[in-house]
């Protein structure tokens, strides 16, 4: 019934009046992922509800094809668009009436999308300068959605801090990601999610789900994760999409260093099923740049590195053939080229497989109920140098297997944090719980409440800076170099306004440098 209903709706779209919106929802059409940032020279829009909308006149005059909502300038955005010519508009709800109006346009850019210019269908760095507001008569008035009221982040795009119980991770949304990626991306446009606001001293663990799955499937692993040393990030993507394109997106969001710069902080990737293929292909896209984020541990769990035999049958006989299903065909170009490059030397790959058989293990007969064992132990993959561990579990059940989780934790401990252990303990003790005026930026307020005590100990030379960024920050606070950043100026002000709080804390601290 599910397949029949999807097929019926798919045909309706194909027979509907031509429009770019309809094309975006068709699986057999190429769509482009556009990534960029709103650039502002002032703080005028730092806490204002904003939206970016893409308009096309290919079929209908000024048709709004895609929209993303965010809070404040300086935020990254993502759009999903078919081939064509577009006008991108940025709105700001300046009068705070919960409407983006024609007179509240604060940014504009033209964009032409075609496979000649963008053969990978990934369009990066489409940045838009924020200007004074202007009126565009043909622009739609757009209501500010209720989603703008959810928890905002100082570091991440609007709406990306979510609980794993959030409806966005429900099975109906993840299933939509298989059969209607465009609709999925209206719910989850950034494909990046986190559980909490960012903190600098914890190692990011990026979880990548499989086909039809969602980030919620890693809940048991995360509940057993050491929260004082690791933070969970998620690549929540439309799993029916082209795997090479999804790998490009994974690289650009997490590995390139352009969207999430981690400097020297290592990263961990934990990928289940098809997610392991996306991550492995993303590693092929490393360019050897010093600015790229480095994944030190890659754990693939029940991943069909040799492809999935059922995908060949599905491609031949299925009513709807998903792009990802084509790539999973063992004879596909994607599978053939997956190991064209060895993993970078800094990546430690641990391959976990599932066999779901309580008796004897036979490579030719066993599976985890979904993926054949031989596919998980692809002979070409075995020529790479990494460890392989089997667990008596089903394809999905392995994610709750206590033995697997324990083994995963042991591997995670081997990834060394750039912060010394003594610094990690200090940061986990928190900062100062004081009431600050609105004169402090939101970022500074977070910094003081999260790491204020740690910074005071750096200023007092009780502990040493771990890098040049910290050293320069402390020099600015001490007046040895000019304070050019809001965070520097605000911390100087904090020390002047709360000397008793600072001195009381220092009285109880050791004099020895850590």
DSSP per-residue string spanning 132-158: S-B--TTSPPEEPPGGGGSPP-SSSPT
255: which DSSP letter?
I
DSSP, collapsed to helix, strand or coil, labels residue 80 as: strand
Spatial distance between the Cα atoms of 275 and 207, rounded to a whole number of angstroms? 9
Closest to 259 (Cα-Cα) out of 33, 486, 490, 489: 33
Buried b (16+ CB within 10 A) or exposed e, 293-312: bbbbbbbbbbbbbbbbbbbb
pTM above 0.95, yes or no: no
Cα 157 from chain centre: 10
* Beta-strand relationship, 295-301 and 267-272: parallel
Spatial distance between the Cα atoms of 263 and 257, rounded to a whole number of angstroms? 8
Burial of residue 133, with CB atoms counted within 10 A of its CB: 0-12 exposed, 13-18 middle, 19 or more buried:
middle
Spatial distance between the Cα atoms of 61 and 71, rounded to a whole number of angstroms? 29
Q: What are phi and psi of 149, to 5 degrees?
A: -90, -10
Burial of residue 260, with CB atoms counted within 10 A of its CB: 0-12 exposed, 13-18 middle, 19 or more buried:
buried
Largest CA-CA distance found in the chain, in angstroms, rounded: 76
Contacts of 144 (CB under 8 A, 6+ apart): 49, 51, 69, 93, 98, 99, 100
Q: How far, CA to CA in Å, does 423 sit from each of 89, 127, 326, 430?
A: 45, 37, 48, 11
Give the bridge partners for 497, in sequence order: none
Spatial distance between the Cα atoms of 180 and 302, rounded to a whole number of angstroms? 25
| Ranges in the chain, pLDDT < 70 | 1-17, 28, 148-151, 312-320, 357-370, 378-386, 510-514
Burial of residue 386, with CB atoms counted within 10 A of its CB: 0-12 exposed, 13-18 middle, 19 or more buried:
middle
For 315, how many CA atoms within 13 A lie in the half-sphere containing its CB? 16
Spatial distance between the Cα atoms of 342 and 30, rounded to a whole number of angstroms? 30
- Cα Rg for the chain, rounded, in angstroms? 25
Q: How far, CA to CA in Å, does 244 sit from each of 216, 234, 281, 315, 502?
A: 24, 18, 7, 18, 52
Spatial distance between the Cα atoms of 464 and 213, rounded to a whole number of angstroms? 44
Closest to 202 (Cα-Cα) out of 234, 232, 231: 231
Are 456 and 505 within 8 A, CB to CB? Answer: yes
């Amino acid at each position: 019934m599910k397949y029949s209903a999807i097929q019926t709706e798919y045909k309706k779209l194909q027979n509907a009046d031509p429009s770019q919106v309809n094309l975006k929802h068709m699986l057999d059409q190429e769509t482009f992922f556009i990534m960029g940032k709103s650039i502002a020279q002032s703080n005028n829009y730092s806490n204002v509800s904003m939206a970016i909308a893409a308009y096309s006149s290919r079929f209908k005059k000024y048709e709004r094809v895609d929209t993303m909502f965010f809070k404040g300038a300086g935020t990254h955005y993502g759009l999903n668009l078919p081939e064509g010519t577009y006008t991108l508009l940025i709105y700001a709800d300046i009068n705070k009436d919960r409407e983006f109006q024609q007179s509240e346009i604060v940014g504009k850019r033209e964009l032409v999308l075609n496979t000649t210019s963008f053969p990978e269908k990934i369009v990066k760095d489409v940045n838009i300068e924020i200007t004074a507001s202007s009126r565009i008569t043909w622009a739609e008035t757009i209501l500010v959605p209720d989603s703008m009221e959810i928890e905002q982040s100082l570091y991440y795009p609007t709406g990306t801090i979510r609980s794993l119980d959030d409806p966005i991770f429900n099975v109906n949304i993840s299933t939509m990601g298989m059969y209607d990626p465009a609709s999925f991306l209206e719910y989850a446009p950034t494909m990046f999610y986190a559980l909490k606001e960012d903190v600098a001293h914890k190692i990011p663990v990026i979880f990548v789900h499989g086909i039809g799955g969602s980030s919620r499937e890693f809940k048991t692993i995360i509940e057993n994760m050491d929260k004082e040393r690791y933070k969970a990030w998620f690549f929540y993507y439309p799993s029916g999409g082209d795997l090479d394109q999804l790998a490009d997106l994974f690289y650009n969001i997490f590995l390139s260093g352009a969207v999430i710069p981690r400097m020297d902080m290592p990263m961990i990737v934990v990928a289940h099923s098809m997610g392991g293929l996306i991550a492995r292909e993303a590693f092929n896209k490393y360019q050897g740049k010093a600015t790229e984020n480095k994944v030190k541990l890659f754990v693939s769990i029940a991943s069909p590195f040799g492809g999935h035999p059922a995908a060949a049958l599905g491609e031949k006989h299925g009513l709807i053939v998903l792009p990802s299903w084509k790539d999973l065909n063992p004879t596909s170009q994607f599978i053939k080229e997956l190991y064209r490059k060895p993993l970078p030397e800094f990546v430690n790959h641990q391959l976990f497989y599932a066999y779901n058989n309580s008796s004897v293990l036979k490579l030719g007969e066993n599976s985890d109920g979904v993926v054949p064992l031989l596919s998980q132990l692809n002979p070409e993959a075995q020529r790479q140098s990494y460890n392989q561990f089997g667990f008596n579990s089903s394809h999905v059940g392995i994610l709750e297997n206590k033995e697997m989780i324990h083994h995963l934790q042991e591997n995670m401990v081997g990834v060394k944090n750039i912060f010394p252990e003594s610094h990690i303990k200090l940061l986990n003790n928190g900062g100062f719980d004081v009431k600050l005026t609105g004169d402090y930026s939101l970022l500074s307020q977070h910094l003081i409440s999260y790491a204020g005590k740690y910074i005071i100990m750096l200023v007092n030379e009780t502990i040493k800076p771990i890098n040049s960024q910290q050293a320069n920050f402390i020099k600015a606070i001490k007046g040895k170099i000019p304070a050019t950043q809001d965070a520097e100026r605000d911390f100087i002000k904090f020390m002047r306004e709360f000397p008793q709080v600072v001195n009381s804390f220092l009285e109880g601290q050791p004099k020895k440098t850590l």
